[in-house]
Amino acid sequence: MQHLLSMNDLTKQEIMNLIDTAQAIESGEHILPMERTFASNIFLEPSTRTKNSFYIAEKRLGMEVLDMNGVDSSVTKGETLEDTLKTLQAIGVKLAVVRQPEVGVLQQAAHEVSSLSIINAGDGTGEHPTQSLLDLYTISKEFSSFEGLRVAIAGDIKHSRVARSNACALEKLGAHVCFVAPEAWRDESISINYISMDEACEQVDVLMLLRIQHERHIISDNQGDYLQEFGLTIERERCMKDEAVILHPAPVNRGVEIDSSLVESEKSRIFQQMSNGVLMRMAIIQTLLKGELQYEY
């Protein structure tokens, strides 16, 4: 494959191959040297974890990294994203990691380049495939199979690209996915399988929490009672299965979607997700660019 734009584009086998590659990298195998290979990280929206995780992944692979944002990009002068990517391709960049606010723009841009691989690092409320893949890798380290696994995605479903990518991928792998959200934040284009947070905590193997995305809401929401109605409280955590785990893509609004004391709890894998993100992004980069490398894989 040349690009990673959507989890819909990946087969079950391709997802499992990426998980296996991340595992091999974590074990010290299959780390391909990529000296003199250039990557460009184009982040037109704020990011801490994704941007820096990609930077670390690229540097660990030996890549040269060009850092671009909305201030120093010619997009601010009116240049289209497609032309920016074609410019990078023309000067020899092999990989572009792009976060930008418009759904579907990267799919169009992908048709404009032939020797440049594009990774979608988040497109508005569209998708976030690399977050989904690192979540899947984290889950795979806890459970022997995705088949029959019960997963709840809880929070601001309507505005979450993470929810969209994970719902697609988990169902493809055979997991049973349900959702928890206030009525106004539900998205029935993803699923109509909504349950209460109490039911989710009692039933699921994986509880995936999402933050409230105020920046994507037209009207400011009152979150004062959110923790008690829809969040993970200490009382609800006590009702979870012994082997169940808690995930969150972060940033975490402590005391809103999760009680602050549970972020570092025994069931939490929130900071492990961040560590796994570097490994999975290394695996994705190697998979996309292995045809460009003069090394045996």
Between 11 and 290, residue with greater pLDDT? 11
pLDDT tens for each residue of 174-200: 999 999 999 999 998 888 999 999 999
Contact (CB, 8 A) for 223 and 182: no
Q: Which amino acid is at 233?
A: T
Collapse the DSSP code of 260 into the 3-class scheme (helix H, G, I; strand E, B; otherwise coil) and give the result. Answer: helix
Flag whether 3 is marked binding.
no
Flag whether 131 is marked binding.
yes
User: How many other CB atoms are found less than 10 A from the CB of residue 292?
Assistant: 12
User: Residue 52 pLDDT more than 60?
Assistant: yes
From 2.40.30.170, 1.10.8.60, 3.40.50.1370, 3.10.450.350, which CATH number describes the 143-268 domain?
3.40.50.1370
Using only the alpha carbons of the chain, give its radius of gyration.
Answer: 19
d(CA 227, CA 204): 19
Flag whether 161 is marked binding.
yes
Flag whether 251 is marked binding.
yes
pLDDT tens for each residue of 105-159: 999 999 999 999 999 999 988 999 999 999 999 999 999 999 999 999 999 999 8
Alpha helix ranges (H) inside the chain: 12-26, 49-60, 81-90, 105-110, 129-140, 161-172, 197-203, 226-230, 234-238, 270-289
Flag whether 49 is marked binding.
yes
Per-domain residue ranges of the chain: 7-127+275-292, 143-268
Query: What is the architecture of the domain spanning 7-127+275-292?
Result: 3-Layer(aba) Sandwich (3.40)
CB burial readout 9-31, b (16+ within 10 A) else e: ebeeeebeebbebbbebbeeebe
**Token code pair at residue 13:** 């086998």
Q: Do domains 7-127+275-292 and 143-268 have the same CATH topology?
A: yes
Pairing relation of β-strands 206-209 and 176-180? unpaired
Contact (CB, 8 A) for 164 and 126: yes
**Token code pair at residue 156:** 């601001």
Flag whether 77 is marked binding.
yes
Flag whether 50 is marked binding.
yes
Task: Tell me the whole-structure pTM to 2 decimals.
Answer: 0.92
Collapse the DSSP code of 290 into the 3-class scheme (helix H, G, I; strand E, B; otherwise coil) and give the result. Answer: helix
| Band of pLDDT at residue 31, cut at 50, 70 and 90 | confident
Strand partners, 149: none
| Size (the chain), residues | 297
In the 8-state DSSP scheme, what is residue 86? Answer: H
Flag whether 250 is marked binding.
yes
Q: What is the mean pLDDT of residues 267-282?
A: 98
Flag whether 248 is marked binding.
no
Flag whether 141 is marked binding.
no
